[in-house]
A and B are shown apart, each in its own frame.
Chain A
Amino acid sequence: MDTSKVATSNATTAATASKPSKIGALGNWADERLGLAAMGKKNLRKVFPDHWSFMLGEIALWSFVVLLLTGVFLTLWFVPSMGEVQYNGTYEQLRGVHMSEAFASSLNISFDVRGGLLMRQMHHWAAMLFVASMMIHLLRVFFTGAHRKPRELNWVIGCLLLILGTLEGFTGYSLPDDLLSGTGIRAADGFIKASPVVGTYMSFLLFGGEFPGESIIPRLYVVHILLIPGLLLALVAAHMLLLVYHKHTQWPGPGRTEKNVVGYPMLPVYAAKAGGFFFIVFGVTALLGGLLSINPVWKYGPYDPSKVTAGSQPDWYMGWPDGALRIMPGIESEIWGHTISWNVMLPILILPVVMFIILLLLPFIEAWVTGDKREHHLLQRPRNAPTRTATMVALMTMYGLFWAAGGNDIIAIRLHLSINQITYFMRAAVVIGPVLAFIITRRWCISLQRKDNETLLHGYETGIIMRSPEGGYTERHLPLPASTAYTLTARHRDPEVNGHHEAVDANGVAAPGTGRLEGLRTRLRTLMWSDNVQKPTREELDEGHHHAEHEHELQAGLDHSADGHQFDGHHLVEDETLRGH
């Protein structure tokens, strides 16, 4: 095979040079100045593998584009000022009320700018989708092992995107200066004041004096429309460049190896699919914006520090630290005349930071535990890395429980429960739940591995029940098609671990860095691999096949073609009937 070519295909013959056209002339003009052809040679037919789960990150990318478009529209009318004005606009129920210019302009966008409400709602829905799709993309990457070498840095960039996206969301929903967003900022002021030593200073500097002051909205606005979007754009660009450089991962399968990537070319198929998907994501946000009301600021009214509404919640992505805040017991200590608010610091200043650092370090922790220094471009099925899968499910469980705790009042009224009992339950559940989830997921994965081996050794179940001359019933199993069998076995065996002789290498020399840390690593390696089920050995496989052939012989002599393939599309029986003789 000629590997010098970037991509090979039998699909089309090479294009022959045609007469120079107008487009050709334009291309020539541009190439003489920009050298586009060299770039295009590499990238125009760049291959992307096709799988639905590879498009989750695209949802995030496209909703970010929707955010930029709708956001620019909103800036044309939004006034980021806390100057007090008397409202005299179209919305009758607030006419004459004093409010900030920010809130008045939000009402103006909602009621007096045609399409303004739609753009506001689309912007808000797209923001919710942006963070949500980043998270499902992150889960897909982790569950399939796509965070392994050489993609660890792209994982880090992705994590930064997630946290920046969350902050961008918070600054965004604070801008309209309605009752809910003001309550959110007020709580944020409480969080800042709880920081030891510098809390009060930070609060006064941030708000330009005492809360609420008149500076916070203009300052959040600059952060929201300039600072964070700039960082997001730069990081998105870096994320995509690394994706192009590493080339996309792919599932193992016939023809797929660690050294190649099989799929459709960028031009035309992938460009069309990605471009079409952009319009679909854009369309979905338009549909949501048109049909579902989000953040009806006119009903909340302008922010007033003496008003509050039941069901004061942040947007969903800030919900889990809020849940942690709700279930935290009220602990505060006083040391040498200084107050330390553990009840605020632990859940809101420490927990999210710790969780984020854990998330950031996951690929590095895994690489340290496994000692794996190889590049990985073929994905793993979640079941084939039970401990990793279980770790993420445990983290998800913890996240989900904190998240639910953040909606405890809504859960209480909708399900007729007591907020007090929900809170007590959650205090225990956030500790016990992840542990249970870890154990259950790990065992579940291992069972699925067993089932794979079962299928490999004994074939798949056809659903055909055979009756032997003796009257016994058996289900007929048939061997897997070659490509499926290959796909199932195209994976590594895990190293054998049994705890102790890990610390000593093949020559009997103690590995460097022995000590407590190395002990922990050994224990983690044991946890990582010890209970996993390996794919069958060649001997097991031979024996299994031998057994299957024997059974086939027993079942031979059937004069119709009910061989079990009628139902799986491998054998066409258009002209035959099952009981036709």
Chain B
Amino acid sequence: MSTPPVIDGHGHDEPVDENLPERDDLYANPGVHEHLWRPTDVDPKAEKRAERQVATLFTLSALCTVLFVVCYVVVGPDETLAGFGAQNLLFGLTLAGALLFLGIGIIQWARKLMADQEIVEYRHPARSSDEDRATTIEALNTGIGESGIGRRPLVRNSLLGAAGLLGVPAVVMLRDLGPTNAQVTENPPFPGSGITNTIWDKGMRVVRDVVGTPIRPEDMQIGDLINGEPEGIYVSPWDGEPLEGVALQVNKSKGAVVLVKMEPEEIIPGTGRENWSVDGILCYSKICTHVGCPISLYERTTHHLLCPCHQSTFDLADSARVVFGPAARPLPQLALAVDADGYLVAQSDFDEPVGPSFWERG
């Protein structure tokens, strides 16, 4: 074996930019380090040991793979191991073992046994040679000239126009991705359609979420919070059937409300909202006016309602005024009344769109 390759020991042979200082070397480039052998290169015993080590790692990997298959067959879905789901834990550990031992083995092989002399490769500038450039430009010009695209502006421009116009169908054809707000408001596919409407209507009962039971004012105590829904999602105002699928999801996403009861004298009624509460019970949209998270983190002593997504905080005693956070508008309030059977009902739909702001909201 000879000495390692010697690189040009003097100078650095670099590209130069006349506007910037050239590199001056204070020391001569000493060249690549002398190659030192590893114990595995010079000591046959060490080499054998490393070989065995690598082979052992590969064997361990194979063992883990076999264990994985065994676990796959043997471990049932409801078995547990130390409080964990046994399947996931055992599959994960055996698969990890199989992969890690394999990877570590391969790298150990490279580090200990494969030749490890550093070698030198020469770079070429990223740019093509002047010759190549000239040839290419010539070919390009010949091609362009032969096509006559420069000489025939009529052909060129009509081609560009025609090809550009093809972009229009690509955009137009996306139109049927969905109906617009105007369309669903005009021809509602289900009750409560349209961004400015909800399913709430005069006389619609407020019911408890999940169970769907109506609420009497006397059911509530001071400090109670009820997560409510419009009765219309359980009994559609159109056909009396419960809403399903899209109709249900859309109406839940706009109609969900929170009911809270506080001491009547703690309420600061908003202008025109003096008779919107019943016995200190107030009803607000549950949908945050920021970006639309459902919001029901209620503090009974401060009457503050917090949004868990971005921490907008509303004061429910004061018409859901924003007291903190990124929301800009108060939560819409639902005017409450009591129907003939003594249950809480809405006086009307919300008097403003619920949920996040949008351009046309005004």
Contacts and interface: CB of A to CB of B under 8 A. Distances in A.
A–B touching in complex (CB under 8 Å)? yes
Interface of A: 1, 3, 6-12, 45-47, 82-84, 90, 111-112, 114-115, 117-118, 121-122, 150, 183, 186-187, 189-191, 193-201, 203-215, 245-247, 254-255, 257-265, 268-269, 272-273, 275-280, 282-284, 286-287, 289-291, 304-312, 322, 325-332, 334, 337-341, 343-344, 347, 370-375, 377, 408-409, 419-420, 423, 482-483, 485-486, 489-495, 535-536, 538, 541
B47 to A, nearest CB: 16
Given A84-B244, A275-B106, A259 B13 contact: yes
B286 to A, nearest CB: 6
B100 interface: yes
Contact of A374 (B16, B29, B246): B16
Contacts of A276: 102-107, 109-110
A488 B201 CA distance: 78
A343 B24 contact: no
B180 interface: yes
B119 A209 contact: no
A261 B118 CA distance: 10
A569 B95 CA distance: 42
B92 A330 contact: no
A261 B120 contact: yes
A186 B123 contact: no
B309 A290 contact: no
Contacts of A118: 87-88, 91-92, 95
B122 A290 contact: no
Q: Report the 8 A-B pairs with minimum CB-CB distance, sorted nearest first.
A: A290-B92, A190-B291, A279-B103, A255-B32, A305-B253, A283-B99, A283-B100, A332-B328
Contacts of B333: none
Interface stretch (B142-150, B275-283, B336-344, B352-360): B352-360
A284 B72 CA distance: 20
Contact of A9 (B88, B117, B122, B362): B117
Contact of A339 (B12, B252, B359): B359
Contacts of B227: 306
A277 B107 contact: yes
Interface string B1-45: 111110110001111110111111111111111000000000000
B308 A536 contact: no
Nearest to B307: A308
Contacts of B246: 82, 209, 212-214
Contacts of A334: 362
Nearest to A183: B293
Interface of B is mostly: loop
Given A196-B359, A210-B181, A279-B99, 16 more contacts: A7-B121, A46-B121, A117-B85, A208-B179, A210-B184, A247-B123, A255-B32, A260-B123, A268-B114, A282-B99, A286-B95, A291-B93, A305-B252, A306-B209, A343-B290, A343-B327
A32 B198 CA distance: 71
Residue among A3, A12, A47 with max Cβ neighbours from chain B (10 Å): A47
A426 to B, nearest CB: 11
A440 B291 CA distance: 38
A276 B104 CA distance: 6
Contact of A305 (B100, B126, B249): B249
Contacts of A187: 291-293, 309
Given A308-B293, A308-B309, A343 B250 contact: no
A203 B297 CA distance: 28
Interface stretch (B133-141, B212-220, B318-326): B318-326
B296 A308 contact: yes
A200 B359 contact: yes
Contacts of B272: none
A215 B178 contact: yes
B295 A374 contact: no
13 contacts: A6-B121, A111-B77, A210-B250, A254-B33, A255-B33, A264-B116, A269-B114, A308-B296, A344-B290, A375-B15, A375-B125, A485-B27, A494-B21
Interface in B257-298: 286, 290-297
Contact of A200 (B8, B125, B195): B195
Contact of A205 (B4, B13, B127, B178): B178
Interface residues of B, number: 118
A461 B209 CA distance: 74
Nearest to A280: B103
A11 B4 CA distance: 8
B310 interface: yes
A290 B115 contact: no
B302 to A, nearest CB: 12
B59 interface: no
Nearest to B97: A283
B30 to A, nearest CB: 4
B117 A11 contact: yes
B347 interface: no
A290 B30 contact: no
Contacts of A114: 72, 77, 87, 91
B49 to A, nearest CB: 19
A49 to B, nearest CB: 9
Residue among B91, B324, B362 with max Cβ neighbours from chain A (10 Å): B91
B229 interface: yes
A11 B114 CA distance: 11
B309 A312 contact: yes
Contact of B89 (A208, A291, A419, A535): A291
A306 B309 contact: no
Contact of B121 (A117, A193, A261): A261
A334 B357 CA distance: 11
Nearest to B100: A283
Contact of A261 (B96, B97, B102, B123): B123
Nearest to A188: B291
B256 interface: yes
Contacts of B194: 210
B166 interface: no
B177 to A, nearest CB: 4
B12 A258 contact: yes
Residue among A10, A204, A343, A419 with max Cβ neighbours from chain B (10 Å): A343
Contacts of B30: 254-255, 482-483, 486
Contacts of A287: 92-93, 96, 100
Contacts of A308: 293-296, 308-309
B178 A213 contact: yes
B119 to A, nearest CB: 4
Contacts of B325: 326, 330, 423
Nearest to A343: B326
A388 B271 CA distance: 57
Contacts of A84: 244-245, 248
A328 B326 contact: yes
A529 B294 CA distance: 53
A336 to B, nearest CB: 9
A74 to B, nearest CB: 15
A290 B33 contact: no
Contact of A277 (B88, B103, B312): B103
B286 A306 contact: yes
A303 B88 CA distance: 25
Nearest to A419: B311
A290 B84 CA distance: 10
A297 to B, nearest CB: 14
Contacts of B28: 486
B20 A486 contact: no
Residue among B85, B120, B297 with max Cβ neighbours from chain A (10 Å): B120
A495 B120 contact: no
Nearest to A370: B20
Nearest to B325: A330
A112 B87 CA distance: 11
B29 A254 contact: yes
Given A10-B3, A213-B250, A262 B20 contact: no
Given A200-B360, A269-B115, A115 B209 contact: no
B160 interface: no
A275 B105 CA distance: 11
Contacts of A183: 293, 309
